[in-house]
């Protein structure tokens, strides 16, 4: 039935499989829990999704460029431990730029290995995932780090503050999503990333500096991780050494859910935002309904697979592949 609706909707709606899935899902949840669509809850989910969301913006650009970034999880641990630890040592006004620079260096290493040396991104970033986790443990000696003066520091604004009644993490997430959406859809850099991801060989013949473009995508990904770390550090006011463990999969799940092709060349930041929100609403909705945790794991991944299927189905106009 859904299929006929998709078909009837024509090409415009056919491209929005994820949006359809999202709306269906929201309606289903709101029927099952009366608190689900309350303003408080929606704001709370938006705020919760900001950390994964900011990271997913960078990851989307990397994936459109035809690569993967699995190192973002431990990079988040690295950046959060660094900014929280330095906060009490040199103050937040210095801790933030030092951390951002250090995280950009890690992004540059990724970018160099994958963009310039042309190594396989899956292998490089999987290796970096472990290597950076090791770096975190060497740096901290295994100790958790905490900000002592949690009430007094202005650093609290990023994770706990609000501007005009809207939580800062939401504002940061929204602004970044908008900026990078504009860059990716209207600016030369965005077109170059699409070209490099869609057809690397053709892009080189078209005079696009492929190495530099790929390098830049990893730098952007690292920048997004650094910003996510500021939100996380400020929200929690402390950090474990493995705080970002597993986040790389949530980020990737959101990107996939947003319909960005893992083969590169196509994808959209705004749809990734939708993917991020959908994952956050699923987790939130299931707790609101009082479901035990194992259903959350199960349902989350079933929804991802169904959504990807719906997306593909909408694009080709039928549920099953025409080729047997």
Partner 1 sequence: MTKTMKLLLASCGTFALVGAAAADTVRIGITQNNVGIDSYQTTYEQAFIAAAEANPDVEVIVLDAGGDVARQISQMQDLIQQRVDAIIIWPTDGQALVPAVRNAHREGIPVVVTNSNIAEAGMEFIAAFSGPNNIQQGIYSAEMMCDALGGEGQIVQITGMPGYTTAIERQRGFDERLAELCPGVTQLDIQPGDWNRERAQRTMETLLTRFDQIDGVYSGDDNMGVGALNAALAAGRAEGMVFIGATNFAVGYDAMGRGEYWGSVYQSPVDDARAALQTALDVLAGEDVPKLNYFDTPKITQENMHEFDRPVF
Under the rule (CB under 8 A), what is the footprint of partner 1?
33, 35, 38, 40-41, 44, 48, 51, 137-138, 141-144, 146, 148, 160, 232, 235-238, 240-243, 283-284, 287-288, 290, 292-294
The Cα 254–Cα 177 span in angstroms is 14
Nearer to partner 1, 301 or 320 (CB): 301
**Residue 124 contacts residue 110 (beta carbons within 8 Å):** yes
Tokens of 167: 């939580």
Tokens of 47: 């705020």
Nearer to partner 1, 48 or 268 (CB): 48
Smallest gap, in angstroms, from Cβ of residue 52 to partner 1? 10
**Residue 56 contacts residue 251 (beta carbons within 8 Å):** yes
Smallest gap, in angstroms, from Cβ of residue 55 to partner 1? 13
Q: Which candidate, 180, 275, 182, 168, places its Cα nearest to that of 219? A: 180
Q: What are phi and psi of 33, to 5 degrees?
A: -140, 125
Smallest gap, in angstroms, from Cβ of residue 247 to partner 1? 10
Output b/e per residue, 169-199; b: 16+ Cβ within 10 A.
Answer: bbbbbeebbeebbebbeeeeebebbbbbbbe
Smallest gap, in angstroms, from Cβ of residue 87 to partner 1? 14
The Cα 73–Cα 251 span in angstroms is 9
Smallest gap, in angstroms, from Cβ of residue 293 to partner 1? 5
The Cα 144–Cα 135 span in angstroms is 14
Nearer to partner 1, 28 or 289 (CB): 289
Q: Cα torsion for 301, 304, 310, 315, to the nearest 10°?
A: -140
Nearer to partner 1, 199 or 245 (CB): 245
Smallest gap, in angstroms, from Cβ of residue 213 to partner 1? 33
Nearer to partner 1, 121 or 241 (CB): 241
Distances (CA, A) of 74 to 21, 130, 270, 309: 31, 7, 25, 30
The Cα 234–Cα 153 span in angstroms is 10
Nearer to partner 1, 72 or 269 (CB): 72
Smallest gap, in angstroms, from Cβ of residue 41 to partner 1? 5
Nearer to partner 1, 13 or 137 (CB): 137
């Amino acid at each position: 039935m859904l299929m006929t609706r998709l078909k009837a909707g024509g090409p415009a709606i056919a491209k929005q499989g994820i949006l359809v899935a999202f709306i269906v899902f929201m309606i289903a949840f709101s029927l099952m829990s009366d608190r689900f669509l309350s303003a408080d809850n929606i704001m709370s989910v938006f705020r919760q999704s900001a950390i994964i969301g900011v990271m997913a913006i960078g990851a989307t650009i990397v994936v459109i460029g035809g690569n993967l970034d699995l190192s973002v999880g431990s990079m988040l641990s690295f950046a959060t431990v660094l900014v929280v630890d330095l906060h009490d040592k040199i103050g937040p006004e210095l801790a933030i730029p030092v951390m951002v620079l250090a995280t950009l260096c890690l992004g540059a290493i990724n970018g160099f290995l994958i963009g310039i040396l042309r190594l396989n991104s899956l292998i490089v970033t999987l290796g970096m995932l472990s290597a950076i986790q090791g770096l975190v443990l060497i740096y901290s000696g295994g100790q958790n780090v905490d900000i002592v003066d949690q009430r007094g520091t202005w650093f609290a604004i990023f994770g706990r503050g609000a501007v005009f009644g809207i939580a800062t993490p939401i504002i940061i997430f929204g602004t970044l999503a908008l900026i990078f959406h504009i860059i990716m859809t209207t600016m030369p850099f965005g077109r170059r990333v699409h070209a490099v991801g869609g057809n690397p060989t053709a892009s080189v013949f078209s005079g696009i500096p492929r190495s530099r473009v790929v390098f830049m995508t990893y730098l952007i990904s690292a920048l997004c991780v650094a910003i996510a770390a500021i939100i996380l550090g400020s929200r929690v006011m402390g950090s474990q050494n493995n705080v970002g463990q597993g986040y790389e999969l949530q980020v990737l799940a959101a990107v996939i859910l947003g319909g960005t092709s893992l083969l590169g060349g196509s994808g959209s930041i705004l749809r990734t935002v939708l993917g991020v929100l959908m994952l956050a609403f699923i987790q939130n909705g299931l707790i609101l309904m009082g479901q035990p945790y194992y259903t959350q794991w199960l349902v989350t991944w079933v929804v991802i697979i169904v959504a990807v299927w719906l997306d593909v189905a909408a694009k080709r106009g039928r549920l099953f592949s025409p080729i047997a």
